[in-house]
Amino acid sequence: MNKYIIGLWLFVLSINANAQHNLPGDFLSKEFHAGRREAFRQKMPENSVAVIFSFPERVFSNDVTYSYHPNPDLYYLSGYKEPDGMLIIFKEMQKNGDRSYNELIFVRSRNPLLEQWTGRRLGADGAKKDLGFAYAFNTEKFKTFEIDFKGFKSIQYDIFPDDAGSGTLQSLINTFSKKAEIKKRENKYIIQAHNLLANFTSPTNLANRVSRIKASMANTEDSDYRNDPILNQIIQNPDEATLAMVQKKIKEDPAPSQEYNKLISSLREIKTPEELVLLRKSIQLSAIAHKEVMKAITPAMSESEITGIFHYVHKRYGAMDEGYPPIVGSGGNGCILHYIENNATKVDNQLVLMDVGSEYHGYSADITRTVPANGKFSPEQKAIYQLVYKAQEEVFKIVKEGTPFQDLNVKTTEVLAQGLLELGIIKEKKDVSRYYIHGVSHHLGLDVHDKNITPVLKENMVITVEPGIYIPKGSPCDPKWWDIAVRIEDDLLIGKSGNENLSVAAPRKLEDIEATLAQKSALNNLILPKLK
């Protein structure tokens, strides 16, 4: 054998040694991602270019990072799931020497030494082979790659991450900013607060939302954020007339990222058949996890142990992650909307609010069930549960193509206000906002709060319907209601004349929940030794 053949043989061996085995067979295909790029390109304005970066890595502790979560936009448009990458999409074909292309991807270079420590990398060749890019390069190449960004009529890009570190991602962003002569970075906090206001459709909750923005501004050192004129205007006058005024202003003077987000959101809000396969799977397996938890739960369990059962069932079905930090709150903890400590050592004879959903190949479920750990709802718990259930049923009836998104919240508020009035918990309908403090719905997909732009429901959108009532201790009502928190959340696929509840496998009717709680679970037989 000559040297060349031996070298080649060793090379092939080393590739095989590095290959990953027994992977799931249902990842999105490279054709799917290429199709999404083409759809995006169709929507881009003439003579424009779009640039999409990886999300940064986040520190967990010292030199340890959190398990990495890709930027959903980048994943959607390319399938690339690693940090330190960058995708460029051109509206028109570009000529550069003898190359002609309308998309480029820059990815982390292969590095066998680092890969043995921190995991496999796709590299430029992998991006060509596995992701189907004709032109893929290592990130180092971007500095010298000739692209005259100033020659384009518009450049589409999202807000840069404010914590891109000092490494490759920051260098890609800096190089791009220099090449494109971007002088001012958009302020993420201002844009987020503007977006909240621009899309806000629930006047009953306006004061609540403005208070949240105010508290967040008071909490920051960022003087641009603190002094933003639009935010200060609504804080001074948190009324409907001022809201209309600031919404107009925000729309008239959109931030550059708004243009990019309009495009990507108009694609992502409508799920393709390939996406629906994964989303259905994520939601169904999460619903089954809820049912298994109901079978296993006892008053002696801790919130954390309950969370662990969800994790276990998700992973049994191959979901590698959760779509958001699980919320398992017993009693008063359920009143905290994003309660993620989950550290009460016993849930006791209380209601347990469980808002937990898996992420399967990037697609997030979002399901909430509220159950009495001892197996039976008390009369007060039952009254609140049935009211929230009624609100959800009423909203289900109007979830279909053509319904304005804001109607879902109007309907919820109406039903909950009437019910709370009848129970004597509030004296005037407007006080419903004390106990119903969030919106009833959001889109669902690669983000748990998924990107969207159209204010009316359309076929193949997927949304949540999640009414809730929260009565913290000390509320101005009979103390018998205190510490009751109920949310019921399901995931609905919009159809032309109705909807499909994708989370039906999680018991929802009060009688079905009680019947499931009475069932046995194999997990109750798992006895572990006491720690010394």
Report the nearest approach of ligand GLY to the CB of residue 323 (Å). Answer: 8
Residue 132 amino acid letter: G
Quote the CA–CA distance of 296 and 310 in Å, as a whole number.
Answer: 11
Task: Give whichever of 275 and 355 is closer to ligand GLY, judged by the CB atom.
Answer: 355
Q: Which is nearer to ligand GLY, 57 or 303 (CB)?
A: 303
In whole angstroms, how close is the CB of 130 to ligand GLY at the nearest point?
32
CB of 513 to ligand GLY, least distance (A): 19
CA-based diameter of the chain, in Å? Answer: 91
Choose between 85 and 439: whose C-beta lies nearer to ligand GLY: 439
Q: Which is nearer to ligand GLY, 149 or 396 (CB)?
A: 396
Instruction: CB nearer to Mn ion: give 390 or 449.
Output: 449
What is the spatial distance between Cα 157 and Cα 87, in angstroms, rounded to a whole number?
11
Binding characters for ligand GLY, 363-402, by CB under 6 A (x = yes): ---x------------------------------------
Give min distance, CB of 154 to ligand GLY, in A.
33
Render 105-173 in DSSP notation, one character per residue: EEEPPP-HHHHHHH----HHHHHHHTT--SSEEEGGGGGTS---GGGSSEEEE-PPPTT--SSHHHHHH
Residue ranges in 237-326 assigned as alpha helix (H): 240-252, 256-268, 273-296, 303-316
Q: Which is nearer to ligand GLY, 324 or 405 (CB)?
A: 324
Q: Rounded CA gap, 30 and 516, in Å?
A: 42
Q: Which does 269 bind (CB under 5 to 8 A by kind): ligand GLY, Mn ion, none?
A: none
- Select from 158, 269, 303, 355 the one that contacts ligand GLY (CB under 6 A): 355
- Tell which one of 73, 275, 305, 466 touches ligand GLY (CB under 6 A): 466
Q: Name the minimum Å distance from CB 444 to ligand GLY.
A: 9
How far apart are alpha carbons 347 and 355 in whole angstroms?
15
User: Which of the listed partners (ligand GLY, Mn ion, none) does 444 bind, with a CB threshold of 5 to 8 Å by partner kind?
Assistant: none
Smallest distance from the beta carbon of 392 to Mn ion, in angstroms?
13
Q: Could you tell me the two tokens for 367?
A: 């399901």
389 vs 482 by CB, closer to Mn ion: 389
In the chain, the N- to C-terminal Cα span, in Å, equals 63
- Secondary structure (DSSP) of 379-402: HHHHHHHHHHHHHHHHHHHH-STT
> How many chain residues interact with ligand GLY (CB under 6 A)?
7
Residue 369 exposure: Cα atoms within 13 Å on the Cβ side:
30
Q: Is 144 left (phi over 0), alpha (psi -120 to 50) or beta?
A: alpha
CB of 178 to ligand GLY, least distance (A): 38
The answer to whether residue 490 forms part of the interface with ligand GLY (CB under 6 A) is no
Nearest residue to ligand GLY, by Cβ distance, number only: 355
324 binds, among Mn ion, ligand GLY, none (CB under 5 to 8 A by kind): ligand GLY
To ligand GLY, the closest distance from the beta carbon of 366 in angstroms equals: 5
- Spell out the long-range contacts of 15-24 with Cβ–Cβ below 8 A and sequence spacing 24 or more: 18/115, 18/120, 20/120, 24/318, 24/361
CB of 159 to Mn ion, least distance (A): 23
Distances (CA, A) of 32 to 75, 91, 168, 364, 386: 11, 19, 28, 18, 43
- Among Mn ion, ligand GLY, none, the one that 262 touches (CB under a kind-dependent 5 to 8 A) is none
- Measured CA to CA in angstroms, residue 215 lies from 118, 159, 211, 475, 517 at distances of 39, 23, 6, 21, 40
| Residue 506 dihedral angles phi and psi, to the nearest 5° | -95, 115
Instruction: Pick from 135, 200, 324, 435 the residue near ligand GLY by CB under 6 A.
Output: 324
**Which option in ligand GLY, Mn ion, none does residue 261 bind, with CB closer than 5 to 8 A by kind?**
none
Residue ranges in contact with Mn ion by CB under 5 A:
355, 366, 464, 489
How far apart (Å, rounded) are the C-alpha atoms in residues 128 and 245? 49
CB of residue 367 to ligand GLY, shortest distance in Å: 9
Residue nearest Mn ion, CB atom distance? 355
Length of the chain: 532
Residue 103 or 466 with smaller CB distance to ligand GLY: 466
Strand partners, 494: 499
Residue 147 Cβ vs Mn ion, minimum distance, rounded to whole Å: 40
For ligand GLY, the binding residues (CB under 6 A) are 324, 355, 366, 442, 448, 466, 489
